């Protein structure tokens, strides 16, 4: 049975976790399906993606019973090989990083529980919109392990060190309002899917080349020194302004005519 579906409409990719009977808990089949979905969307002409979960929850975390193939195997053999992301990630890390690495914006529409693997998947999105009843937890410490699905790359970009440590050390769930205050959640909406759709339509209406350039530039800005960021600003702008169609768009905007983006 399919664990993930991908559909497209008006340049928006809708990626849905479809294991509702298990609160979208992640087993081996879902790991594979999420990565495959990410690769499919990355190769498509979508301008923005929305990731959501069907049923009562976004994702309840890892389904331990669904990973029975790990029993008796050397953890190093399972976790250390860099099998994905051009040799940078293992398959578990790729579940989140395939979305973070994507060159288009990704929005996570979160409801219900978003625990463990679920929160790390949501962290791979650019923007997280949560329902008021959503709950978030970095759950791994409950099982005597550490977050290992890309969370330690993604969380430090969003929250203070003390918040990161509290979430990790305690494994305690927090509500949507606390998550928003701490920076895990972008905004709270009664209907996160409707809010995500509205935002996606806004983004899809902008220049796709400029949106991709902005995402690249923000990635540089989050990690590089000032000189590198300033150089990246200029290079991206030169490439954009140099596009033949872009001058027509600029003229349309300043002439107060509707701009049409290819």
- For the stretch 70-121, pLDDT in tens is 666 788 888 888 888 888 999 999 999 999 999 999 999 999 999 999 999 9
Residue intervals of the chain classified under CATH 3.90.226.10 are 4-204
Output the DSSP codes for 194-242. Answer: HHHHHHHHHHHTS-HHHHHHHHHHHHHHTTS-HHHHHHHHHHHHHHHHT
Asked if 97 and 85 touch (Cβ cutoff 8 Å), the reply is yes
Question: What distance in Å separates the CA atoms of residue 165 and residue 95, rounded to the nearest whole number?
Answer: 22
3-state secondary structure of 15: strand
* pLDDT at 253 (0 to 100): 55
Question: What distance in Å separates the CA atoms of residue 255 and residue 162, rounded to the nearest whole number?
Answer: 50
* pLDDT at 74 (0 to 100): 83
- The pairing of beta strand 12-17 with beta strand 106-110: unpaired
**pLDDT-flagged residues of the chain (< 50):** none
Is 4-204 a domain of CATH 1.10.3720.10?
A: no
Residue intervals of the chain classified under CATH 1.10.12 are 208-254
Q: Where are the beta strands (DSSP E) in 104-146?
A: 106-110, 113-115, 127-130, 135-137
Question: What distance in Å separates the CA atoms of residue 115 and residue 143, rounded to the nearest whole number?
Answer: 13
CATH level 3 topology of 208-254 = Lyase 2-enoyl-coa Hydratase; Chain  A, domain 2 (1.10.12)
Q: Measure the CA dihedral 55/61/67/68, to 10°.
A: -100
- The pairing of beta strand 106-110 with beta strand 127-130: parallel
How much is the pTM?
0.90
* pLDDT at 73 (0 to 100): 77
């Amino acid at each position: 049975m399919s664990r993930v579906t991908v559909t497209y409409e008006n340049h928006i990719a809708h990626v849905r976790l479809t294991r509702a009977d298990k609160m979208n808990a992640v087993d081996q089949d879902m790991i594979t399906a999420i990565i495959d979905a990410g690769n499919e969307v990355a190769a498509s002409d979508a301008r923005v993606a929305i990731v959501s979960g069907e049923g009562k929850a976004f994702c309840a975390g890892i389904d331990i019973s669904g990973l029975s193939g790990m029993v008796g195997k050397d953890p190093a053999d399972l976790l250390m090989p860099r099998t994905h992301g051009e040799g940078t990630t293992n398959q578990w890390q790729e579940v989140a990083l395939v979305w973070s690495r994507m060159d288009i914006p990704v929005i996570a529409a979160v409801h219900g529980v978003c625990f463990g693997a679920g929160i790390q998947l949501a962290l791979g999105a650019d923007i997280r919109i949560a329902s008021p009843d959503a709950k978030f937890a970095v759950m791994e410490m409950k099982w005597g392990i550490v977050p290992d699905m890309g969370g330690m790359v993604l969380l430090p970009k969003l929250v203070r060190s003390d918040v990161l440590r509290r979430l990790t050390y305690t494994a305690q769930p927090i509500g949507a309002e606390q998550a928003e205050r701490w920076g895990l959640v972008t905004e709270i909406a009664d209907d996160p899917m409707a809010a995500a759709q509205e935002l996606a339509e806004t983004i899809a209406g902008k220049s796709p080349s400029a949106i991709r350039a902005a995402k690249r530039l923000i990635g540089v800005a989050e990690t590089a020194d000032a000189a590198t960021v300033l150089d990246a600003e200029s290079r991206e702008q030169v490439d954009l302004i140099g596009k033949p169609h872009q001058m027509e768009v600029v003229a349309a905007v300043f002439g107060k005519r509707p701009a049409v983006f290819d």
